[in-house]
Structure 1
Amino acid sequence: MNGDTFQRRRQRFYEHLEDGEALILFAGSAPRKSADANYRFFANRNFYYLTGVLQAESAFLAVKAAGEIEETLFVHKKDPLVERWHGYRLSSDEASERSGIERVSDLDGFDRTIQAALKGGVVSGLWFDFDKYDSGLADAPQNRQSASVRSAFPYVSIKNAYPLICALRTIKEAGEISHIREAVGITREGIHAMMQSARAGLFEYQLEAVFNKVLADAGVREPAFASIISGGRNNFYIHYEEPMGLLQDGDLILTDVGARKNEYVADISRAFPVNGRFTTQQKEVYSIALMVNKELMGLLAPGRVSFADIEAHARRRVGEELIAAGYLGKNEDVSKYYWHKGTHHIGLDVHDVGPPAKVIEPGMVFTIDVGIYIEDRNIGFRVEDNVAINESGYEHLSSGIVREIDEIEAMMG
């Protein structure tokens, strides 16, 4: 993606700006870990979506006046001593080329620029990216900056840009879908490698290492999210992130993993037996989940269904099949074995922004995920795929990742 891409995205947002209003965005900073150590920096996704810049502590200001937009990107100035310790900083020209923003200024001047615009009456309204997950964090830059403005300029209106940016991100461009497709392809190789490496006596983290090695060989430094790789009873912890268990003969392995490529993610779940052969009961329950997964994909067409429709179908059909197979009583709620919803957007985030779709539209990319968890039979897993909606229906992005029982067993040898 080049500066033109980010420029087009910003123009779509500016359609909502009135004269005298400004948009302020922050890249964020690396959170403190312990003592003098920080966690690795991860740029705010909305900031990246509109600017293409991944450098810590950067900021962006766009002011609309007399129908014209004036943009300024603020980044830390080049400093050889700081860079010696903490790594390379973008030059002004590099930041401009990456973002498509002509004016790039030293971050030290950000507060002065905001103050001048407010005091001079150029700006009477400010839009901030109030992410709901940051609402209680006083030190989040958007919260800190907006509080300062409210205190010094109580007559200035404050608006939330978050819903508008989320709406833009919900409909993916062709380039975004291409990046997700590439992330899915790398994830495919990692899952297949884990299937081929699995055996009793390995620890879960050893399979995680297999997956991470495939990602590294593909130029991916780390997974898109904390990999969920579990065996046996650990499969009943939905977001299991401490893969320390020992894989045992007869158990199922659950992998819920994804690569991140060019900032876009995959989110795929597969289940396979430790010893390479499904038991009769494992086959029966797995076949139910896979069948319902396929049925859900059969519903997909633009303008036809909502996320709620997909979820309702999944709950109903999983319940019917579990009752027919004798796992669930006729008067029992399917929630006993069906624990979570199976549809969420993916993109720059693994649980990407945007509300559950009231009607699916071309450009949406999301998961189709059917999970069944029967603790008293030690059978728990999910089959999760990624799909992209287009004008004629959908593209099954993860179709190349084996999921049929015979294909899995053949893959495992």
Structure 2
Amino acid sequence: MDFEYSEKVDRLRAQLSDFMRFHVEPVNIDWHRETAAGRYPLALIERLKSRAFSEDLWNLFLPGLGDDDPGQRLSNLEYAPLAEIMGRIHWASEVFNCNAPDTGNMELLQLAATPEQRRRWLEPLLIGEIRSCFAMSEPDAASSDARNIRTTITRDGDDYVINGRKWFITGAAHPNCKLAIVMGLTGEHLDPSSTERHSMLLVPMDTSGLSVVRDIPIMHHHSPEGHCELLFRNVRVSVANLLGEEGKGFRLAQDRLGPGRVHHCMRTIGQCEVALELMCERALERKTFGKYLADYANIQDWIAESRLEIDQARLLVMKAAHRMDREGNAAARVDVSAIKLVAARLQTRIVDRAMQVFGAMGLTPDTPLAYLWTWGRAMRFLDGPDEVHLRVVARAELARARGQAGRNACQFVPPAPLLG
């Protein structure tokens, strides 16, 4: 595997870094001030989106574009270092139309939408005209196993009728969120272990019977686009709103998550780089007991371990992206579980060290550290809890061991008997 950046990626990295430095970072304080005052969406975001579009820093995440669609047509491996740069400021991805959950939704629509669905929903998403959400998780089911989902989708003539409750639906509070991709149960008669029981529907957010019950703060960390609870009470949409085939929703959900986890993990690595930079700056300027913090061996250890862990995680994510590009999303399933585990744990660990170096200030809004720590902790649930991903990795390792049973016997040579 060769992870040297191509000339194109090097050029985009430099261009994106300059854009972040000269256009995004200077308005970061304004973004926080405006959203804290309850003003969202922001005019500054729209101005930045227009500039990014004009500079062709747009839809960087999406490899499969049509001839007339805006974007760079990058592979997962090419996009990964760009996601890291965007991730340094948590809200910046929207500027480049690379924000979740729209990224995954655009991938789904590219994969399974009809021509009419593409015209109505995909094309506006590709130009950043609208936002969307993905309604899968439920309060009454362990959604780490999507087969548990209980929201019902019932056929009634030329319509489907949806009843159920969803929560932690990112983006649903955004005023420009016009579409919910809803996953629900269409095959109640099938065996509960079947992966053919669920389907996806495209539901306009203004459909009668669909209501946003509340926006749920995560560990007192509030995102202006929302992590919402949605209620579906006899929500009726046309059968033409079915995404893909009936009973194929579980498979579509699996296809959606692979690239998105690469995006999440590389953004996390960008945030860990920020935390390490802040830790080093604080250690070099702060004195205790007559010495700079940087002179203490334990602080030096934290800094060195953080650098090693970030670089290790980055290489693991690049390996997963490389496999997805070469062999497909399904072949990289174990790799994707591995990076999801490593990245979420990395963020809480490194940000925790940085908070400790900052002392009490690390707990306040005077630095981004407390915010980044809460998001890292949330990532240990988002896109599947740690335990599910550990299980995926362990099962793959055990399957490999079963396939090699007995091959390692030569490694266990009994010692020669003592003579005499």
The verdict on a shared fold, with TM-score over 0.5 as the criterion, is no
Which bracket does the TM-score occupy, shorter chain normalised?
Answer: under 0.3
TM-score (norm 2): 0.25
